[in-house]
Structure 1
Amino acid sequence: MDEAITDFVDGFKGVKEFVNALNVELLLELSNPKNVRKEFLRNLFGVISKFAISTFDFDLYYAYVKHHGNTDGLIRDFYHQALAHDEDLASNLLQQLSNKVSNAKKNTVLGVLWSLMKELLPSVDTGSLEVQTCFQSLVEAYITKTVDKEPSKPEDWARPAEVYKCYSSGCKACPELNLFLKDPEAKEKTIVLTADDHRHVKWHFDYLENGNGGRDGEVRFTKTLKEWEKRHRSWDLDVKATQEKLQKLPKDALKRALGDKYDTLMALDLVRIDRSTAQAPDEVQPPSRPKRPQAEDANDTAPVRNSKRARRDEEQAEGREM
């Protein structure tokens, strides 16, 4: 019966929002030391606890947190209230946190997830498998939502991210350079620039190195790794900031909570690429030329090259015959 009601609640956004909001209000009232109706509120929490857990939504929770302002310890209180009623409720809450965190929006993760982990970590049995599963999911989501995937180093000379959509009427240089940027095999290109185009083009294609093309009006453009290097520097800063944030959590407790994934998660391997497969454009080997077919004899038979062992066997056979 409870599962049927839960499915019904999940199917209606308004009911889901109401249950999440009611749960936040209850937790806030229960955390108020001056509240004289705590017994009634605990009983009310017991009535809605299953629905509050099964419909828990990170984005809705974050919206209510922002509305109320200071809600430190709210998830911790949620866990303790659930545990006080039933251990299975507390386990279900951990499982719900694990299942829902990957769907949370980036702003939600940035707004609540680190404080949630900080509050919850001292309150749980970090040696239990369900706690480890939960915290692994929470940290994984925190990493992947706060740090993008490491920018891949270009493996050829194509630079699609540097293409510029030109709105200058009659400009011929930009379309020509855009085709050049899309070409995976071209490293350099020389074009003629008018005086009007000169500054306009160099401003928008600042990742390209440019020099004298040899003739009047000609400019030689050379592709670089500047755009990738800029994105990678920004990515490095994000990695460092996220690592520093995670390192502020109690190390011993976090190490137990993450189990065998501690080292890889703290190293942010989730967002790193395998550098062994990356290759700089200067290292890219040119396409191999097709092998020339072996010359055929007059009978259209390809020559057969005997091995040393085969020739030795033939000489021994001839010796026996003699």
Structure 2
Amino acid sequence: MKKIIFIVSILFSSLFASNQEVTVTILPQKYFVEKIVKDKFSVNVMVPPGSSPHNFEPKPSAMKALFNSKAYFLIGEPSEKAWIKKFKQNAKNTTFVDTTVGVEKIEMVAHEHHEEKEDKHKGHKHEHEEDKHDHSGVDPHIWLDPILVKIQAKNIYEAMIKIDAQNSDFYKTNYEEFIKELDSLDSEIKNILAPYKDKAFMVFHPSWGYFAARYEIEQISIEVEGKEPKPNELVKLVEEAKKHDIKIIFVSPQFSQNSAKTISNNIGGNVVAINPLTDDWHNNLLTVAKEIANSYK
């Protein structure tokens, strides 16, 4: 009898929990959503730590949590487009919220060259014909710009007051506090990077295009069309790093580090691990800014 009561208790607990859950694609989104919902909802993350959203396959447990979610906050990753039909088929009672509404996106640029003329605020590139690669699609990494996160936060907040209207004042207070945090973070990063306007940093995967455009610095990526550069391309990257006096190369756990280490050895630079998908979002952006600044001191 006790066993039956225990099982029934678990079932009711699961049912209750399912009414207090929302879903996001990546960990930084969890940070944004939790800033607004606090403990009112738990946040299910589709892409687990250490995985790349570019080629992930949802686990059954994540799909089950999505089925029980009141909302799914989309970030505009290509992987979402590949799975969205199945997501909606399996989560008919879930509200799908595009958090990118209102965000002006830029093209995903796999490699930038010094000769390119760039409108850093708009992100437009004017490349020489011989330097062109296949840059299909827009850059999805909008979460790495605090000002663009303000737009996402507004979309999250507006969705939550529709989903849970009785707690609208609670969400409003949290949202306004989060906006203050984002403005403060933006100011701090600007102060750190202001002396290094037009300086450059190198990274394997070009995740930091929005960050670079916001703070008027240049991102130079190592990968070529999503792949490790060939030996002759590595030589050019070493030359470019020396031309820009780059002493730091960022790597992340989702991508190879071999090329970065080779370039670093040839320029006397440092390889620094960063993770654009960490849930420690606030400190991560500050760390990147400080690392770039310190590399030029």
TM range (shorter): under 0.3
Q: Given the two structures, how large is their TM-score scaled by the length of structure 2? A: 0.21
Q: Which has the higher contact order (CA 8 A, sep 6+)?
A: 2
Q: Higher strand share goes to which structure?
A: 2
Q: Given the two structures, how large is their TM-score scaled by the length of structure 1? A: 0.20
Larger Cα-atom Rg = 1
Q: Higher helix share goes to which structure?
A: 1
